Structure 1
Amino acid sequence: MLNNKTVVIGVSGGIAAYKACDIVSRLKKLNANVHVIMTKGATEFVTPLTFQSLSQNYVVSDMFEEPKTWDVEHISLAKKADVFLIAPATANVIGKVANGICDDMLTTTVMATTGRVLIAPAMNTNMYKNPILQRNISSLKELGYNFVNPESGRLACGDEGEGKLASPEIIVNEVVKLLNNKNNDLQGKKIMITAGPTVERIDPVRYITNRSTGKMGYAIAKIAADRGADVTLVSGPTNIEPPSNIKKLIKIQSAEDMYNAIIDNLDENQVIIKSAAVADYKPKAYSDKKIKKSNDDLVIELDRNKDIAYELGKIKKDKVLVGFAAETNDLIENAKGKVNKKNLDFIVANDLTEEGAGFGTDTNIVKIIDKEGNINKYPQMKKDEVANVILDKVKSLLEK
């Protein structure tokens, strides 16, 4: 996802320095090239060898140590940085950067970078609320520096309050937003996304469902929120941790539950993305007691569930409605039929028989078909990348 992108991470001397290890690891898993600069204080909390092992690049901590290359070290790293992240950022480091003080490798390099700078403060609550620090933060924001606000909670000193380093997941999400240059381009847009399977109960221990894991829908919800949208996620049962930055999570079980949740939240949303795999049928009769095994075959009579996308297509007005089609044959023909029948703006179609597509995978291979019949085919991509493709098309429709 971050191929050919370089992130330079400045680690300053706070107890939260250990969390920077997780940040480096997460960025490496996204294929970023990561370089770490440590202040002298930071090396008292975590050894440079730890960051060297995680980043697979040597770590710089002393301006006057013997150079590893013939480049001027701080200028070389400053030029490489697509994003320069300082995490944790102490009050001391923030004060130095705000006032142009360059007395170590971290502050010298950040002064020289032309990349975007992202600062994640971490300190005692009273320090964070100090008007001098807040003035320094305001000054840096006016100059175009980006910040990840600290969280509230129990701090290392035992105090409760604001000042805890934001979670590595949130910090990495902010880095990704800056690198993808899609920072808040969906700001103010209200998007409802459905994800996962539905469950239709037979008796207290049995039910009908499907193989959907919710990965695609959750990826769309996460990326939409990363790009600034107010996201409502309507989710069937999954084993996925919901994105931390969505506005609302509604957990449902059955297709009827999902339909009701969508209708209840329809008016407040401009876009509905129907990525959930909704059961077409449900048992005609529910047994409130477990059905006992017998010597006879069991016959379960099924009723048809509402086609939610079809019902939405009748009442959507000027809303953007996106459907999904998971097929095993006649993909294009079946997907085109759904676009027309359900009054969709476009449909995301994938062939479940293709390796790397469909349920349970971290990748997908999709074709997007709009209501004019245009077909765009995409190669195998990670589901986060597919999510950006879908949201780019949604954004273009909202701007018409």
Structure 2
Amino acid sequence: MPTKNRCVLLGVCGGIAAYKACEVVRLLVKAGVDVHVLMTPNATRFVSPLTFAALSGYPVAVEAFPPSASEAGSSSTYDPLAHITLSHQAELLLLAPATANTLAKLAAGIADNLLLSTALAFSGPVVFAPAMNSRMYANPATRDNIAKLKARGCIEVEAEMGALASLESGMGRLAEPARIVQRVLHELRREGSPLEGRRILVTAGGTREYFDDIRFISNASTGTLALCCADELYLAGAEVELIAAPSVAEDELASRAYPTIRVTSAEEMLTQVRERAIGLDVLLMLAAVADYRPPRRKGKIKKDDAVELDLRLTRTEDILSSLEEGKPNVRIGASLETEEVEQRAAAKLTAKNLSAIVAVELDPEAPPFGQRSLRAGILTPHEWLLPLSRRDKIELSREIAHLITRLLNPKEQ
């Protein structure tokens, strides 16, 4: 479901992380969402209401009644029934940043400002992103308040570990704006989506096979296509998990709202896939998993140990081939080849009993890694759904998401 003309209320609380809410507004507006901002009085000490009014295109609500007649012409609006009006027009309420004070009052049902009054009157989904000092975040009272809100159906975008305003480092930093926005868009698009409730596991990046404590064998995969696919599926309403190999950058994972699991080796990835295969609807296997692994030696192999170094490589177990037939029912793999691309992709499709395979041709002059486009196509047991052609990865990920939707809902075709 598209997000154009969907309406979100953003409640901004009084903390230093309020400045990051500006980016949240910008990203939501970019996605086509109408954003109406409410601020607590303390929040205006950190960011001016005029800033949010300029970013959202709508007046900002702070108080139901003006403190003085002189403020009647300011960028804030006043309406004694604003908490009712605003709660009726929005589909989702987002609190970001959500301070310990606001969370405590919301959990207790206290409504002593416009934002809290609106939250109590609001009957739709509520998403909150805590931001506070690590000791406040770990305090049993705060943990209890968060647990109460989640038990009532509110959705938490958990705080992160990192630098805090107190010049300390710890858990309590506001989640990345991109991660908050992705969770909001997921909630807006989830209900009624053909992918609602569907569990999809995506694998990404190149594994590492160490032959001593420092050196390893790997490949050039960055996991970009897999991330694009995971994003498309999550934003289409699916319940997505991502298993990421070391080549997927940490900042890429930090901006994602869906769960991510880090692995290093082919064996670790196999274990994680097997653990999650039960009850899975789709496995999208796009990781560049090592075909061979060397024996691992303790410590570091020194240069003066030998003039030459021989590594005896052992075949790793193929993940897709090792899974029981029909678990999951929809399995999509990938094939990267330098020659006979179509023939080898077709052979893998049959040998691994796949629902589809993404065939990629490796061009040494234009390697398909990172943000670069790639020459790729999609093969099913019946046809080349997409013939081999140079494609943008976002475009290709949308085609893969559409294919998965059709495979999961064959009666709707």
Band the TM-score falls in, shorter-chain normalisation = 0.5 to 0.7
Q: Are 1:232 and 2:243 counterparts?
A: yes
Distance of aligned partners of 1:231 and 1:359 in 2 relative to their CA distance in 1, 3 Å threshold: closer
- Which residue number in structure 2 is paired with residue 287 of structure 1? none
- Which residue number in structure 2 is paired with residue 323 of structure 1? 333
Distance of aligned partners of 1:390 and 1:106 in 2 relative to their CA distance in 1, 3 Å threshold: farther
Return the letter of the residue paired with 1:17. Answer: A
**Deviation sequence 1:35-90 (CA, Å, 0-9, x none):** 11111111110111221222222222232245869995333321222211011112
SS at match of 1:157: coil
- Which residue number in structure 1 is paired with residue 9 of structure 2? 8
- Normalized against structure 2, the TM-score is what? 0.63
SS at match of 2:252: coil
Contact 2:129 2:174 (C-alpha < 8 Å) held by counterparts: yes
**Deviation sequence 1:345-380 (CA, Å, 0-9, x none):** 2245899xxxxxx9987999x997654x38989xx9
Matches of residues 150-299 of structure 1 in structure 2 within 5 Å? 150-181=159-190, 185=197, 191-194=201-204, 214-222=223-231, 228-234=239-245, 241-244=251-254, 245-250=259-264, 267-268=274-275, 270=277, 272-275=283-286
The correspondence for 1:105, drawn from 103, 114, 134, is: 114
SS at match of 2:96: strand
Contact 1:222 1:246 (C-alpha < 8 Å) held by counterparts: no
**Deviation sequence 1:293-313 (CA, Å, 0-9, x none):** xxxxxxxxxxxxxxx99x766
Distance of aligned partners of 1:29 and 1:384 in 2 relative to their CA distance in 1, 3 Å threshold: farther
Deviates more, 1:17-26 or 1:125-134: 125-134
Deviates more, 1:334-343 or 1:29-38: 334-343
- Which residue number in structure 2 is paired with residue 294 of structure 1? none
1:134 to partner: Cα distance: 3.4
Distance of aligned partners of 1:341 and 1:109 in 2 relative to their CA distance in 1, 3 Å threshold: same
1:8 to partner: Cα distance: 1.1
Return the letter of the residue paired with 1:123. Answer: M
- Which residue number in structure 1 is paired with residue 25 of structure 2? 24
Return the letter of the residue paired with 2:133. Answer: N
Contact 2:64 2:78 (C-alpha < 8 Å) held by counterparts: no
CA RMSD after TM alignment: 5.0
Deviates more, 1:226-235 or 1:24-33: 226-235
- Aligned equivalents of 1:195, 1:268: Cα separation in 2: 19
Q: Are 1:37 and 2:38 counterparts?
A: yes
Contact 1:35 1:59 (C-alpha < 8 Å) held by counterparts: yes
- Normalized against structure 1, the TM-score is what? 0.65
Return the letter of the residue paired with 2:261. Answer: K
1:118 to partner: Cα distance: 0.9
Q: Which runs of 5+ in 2 are unaligned?
A: 67-71, 207-218, 290-315, 362-367, 387-391
SS at match of 1:344: coil
**Deviation sequence 1:244-285 (CA, Å, 0-9, x none):** 34102549xxxxxx8x8866766445365244689xxxxxxx
1:18 to partner: Cα distance: 0.9
Distance of aligned partners of 1:338 and 1:160 in 2 relative to their CA distance in 1, 3 Å threshold: closer
1:122 to partner: Cα distance: 1.8
Return the letter of the residue paired with 1:247. Answer: I
Contact 1:193 1:221 (C-alpha < 8 Å) held by counterparts: no
Matches of residues 293-312 of structure 1 in structure 2 within 5 Å? none
1:389 to partner: Cα distance: 3.9
Q: Are 1:346 and 2:356 counterparts?
A: yes
Contact 1:26 1:172 (C-alpha < 8 Å) held by counterparts: yes
SS at match of 1:64: coil
Contact 1:11 1:42 (C-alpha < 8 Å) held by counterparts: yes
- Aligned equivalents of 2:5, 2:345: Cα separation in 1: 35
Contact 2:378 2:384 (C-alpha < 8 Å) held by counterparts: yes
Contact 2:243 2:269 (C-alpha < 8 Å) held by counterparts: no
Contact 1:224 1:231 (C-alpha < 8 Å) held by counterparts: no
SS at match of 2:20: helix
SS at match of 1:128: helix
1:335 to partner: Cα distance: 7.7
Q: How many residues align?
A: 349
Return the letter of the residue paired with 2:55. Answer: L
Distance of aligned partners of 1:50 and 1:262 in 2 relative to their CA distance in 1, 3 Å threshold: same
- Aligned equivalents of 1:277, 1:128: Cα separation in 2: 38
Matches of residues 132-143 of structure 1 in structure 2 within 5 Å? 132-143=141-152
Q: Are 1:88 and 2:97 counterparts?
A: yes
Distance of aligned partners of 1:119 and 1:343 in 2 relative to their CA distance in 1, 3 Å threshold: same
